[in-house]
């Protein structure tokens, strides 16, 4: 059995972790998005937003090297996609666990180190090797980091949705990635759990120096922690700070149809007029600066 636990290494501040240069994605003859530009530095948090089917998950797959670009370029930690190994962590769209599943949360986290053993009992040698002890220590450490120690020994099927999601985040973190890709990790959580998991990811990003790209349907729970958003729509894309991108002007240009960003009496903003309202958020900023770029493409 091989267990690789890289030494703690973090990308120096100022060096790009993820770069997208005029990236265009086509699937089945259709342009999903185009003109996507992004510079993600160490300890920065970016959300990928947009309506259902616009290609948010596909953008993560392109970053992982699973889906080639039609044009443009992606660089991760200075290398093409697919070459960064455990330096990139990935949490796919939510899996649901059967309520009767007996595997413990701790073992779910351990699968991040040793994923090919899913469902197979671990053979336990009489004396643990140094590697095994290091693995156990790292699993305990990351479980503590996500605040899951109290229930990590429970069968995963008996953990709540929020508890399961914390354990899955721990699994994605266990190999100390420098870039973490999360596909809708807040989906199917109730509002308090959305807020708690969003705060957890924001804290890990800042305190652990981890760069995060998160696909999200609703920007509200994560807005306070975001440095940037990539907003995908109608074959194009807009990238910038949330206050630059989530405006009536930018979204109207992006969709090519009138879109309004409204403020509710409790200070939240609601995006209306899109084919499907993808984002509601609290505006904490002055939405005045222009975004880095917007693009439209024949889809």
**Which residues ranging from 16 to 75 are in contact with ligand ATP (CB under 6 A)?**
27-28, 32, 50, 52-58
In the complex, minimum distance from the CB of residue 38 to ligand ATP, in angstroms, rounded to a whole number: 16
Q: Where are the alpha helices (DSSP H) in 86-241?
A: 105-110, 130-145, 161-173, 191-208
The DSSP-derived string for 75-128 is EETTB-TT--GGGEEEE-SPP---TT---BHHHHHHTTTSGGGTTSPPP--SS-
In the complex, minimum distance from the CB of residue 95 to ligand ATP, in angstroms, rounded to a whole number: 14
Sheet harboring 30-41: ordered strands across?
Answer: 30-41, 16-27, 71-76
Q: How many CA atoms lie within 13 A of 151 on its CB side?
A: 17
Q: Tell me 11's DSSP state.
A: P
In the complex, minimum distance from the CB of residue 160 to ligand ATP, in angstroms, rounded to a whole number: 23
In the complex, minimum distance from the CB of residue 11 to ligand ATP, in angstroms, rounded to a whole number: 26
Q: Check residue 252 for interaction with ligand ATP (CB under 6 A).
A: no
Q: Please, which residue, 7 or 28, has the CB nearer to ligand ATP? A: 28
Task: Give me the 104-133 binding string for ligand ATP, x by CB under 6 A, dash otherwise.
Answer: ------------------------------
Q: Please, which residue, 138 or 228, has the CB nearer to ligand ATP? A: 228
In the complex, minimum distance from the CB of residue 216 to ligand ATP, in angstroms, rounded to a whole number: 9
Question: Is residue 237 a contact partner of residue 214, using CB atoms and an 8 Å limit?
Answer: no
Q: Which residues pair with 155 in a beta bridge?
A: 104
Query: Which residues contact ligand ATP by CB under 6 A?
Result: 27-28, 32, 50, 52-58
């Amino acid at each position: 059995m091989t267990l690789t636990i890289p030494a703690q290494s973090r990308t120096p501040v100022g060096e790009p972790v993820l770069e997208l240069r005029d990236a265009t994605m086509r699937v089945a003859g259709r342009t999903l998005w185009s003109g996507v530009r992004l510079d993600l530095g160490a300890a920065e948090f970016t959300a990928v937003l947009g309506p259902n089917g616009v290609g948010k998950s596909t953008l993560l797959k392109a970053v992982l090297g699973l889906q080639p670009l039609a044009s443009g370029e992606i660089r991760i930690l200075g290398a093409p996609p697919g070459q960064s190994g455990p330096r990139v962590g990935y949490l796919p769209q939510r899996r649901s666990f059967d309520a009767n599943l007996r595997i413990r949360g701790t073992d779910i986290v351990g699968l991040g180190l040793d994923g090919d053993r899913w469902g197979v009992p671990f053979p336990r040698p009489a004396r643990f090797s140094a590697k095994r002890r290091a693995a156990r220590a790292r699993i305990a450490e990351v479980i503590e980091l996500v605040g899951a120690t109290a229930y990590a020994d429970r069968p995963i099927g008996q953990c709540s949705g929020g508890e399961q999601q914390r354990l899955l985040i721990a699994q994605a973190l266990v190999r100390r990635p420098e870039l973490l890709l999360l596909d809708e990790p807040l989906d199917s959580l109730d509002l308090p759990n959305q807020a708690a998991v969003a705060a957890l990811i924001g804290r890990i990003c800042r305190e652990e120096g981890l760069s995060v790209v998160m696909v999200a349907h609703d920007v509200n729970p994560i807005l306070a922690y975001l440095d940037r958003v990539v907003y995908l729509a109608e074959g194009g894309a807009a990238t910038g700070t949330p206050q630059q991108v989530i405006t009536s002007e930018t979204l109207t240009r992006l969709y090519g149809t009138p879109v309004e960003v409204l403020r509710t009496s409790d200070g939240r903003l609601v995006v209306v007029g899109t084919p499907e309202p993808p984002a509601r958020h609290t505006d904490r900023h002055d939405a005045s600066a222009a975004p880095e770029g917007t693009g439209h493409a024949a889809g």
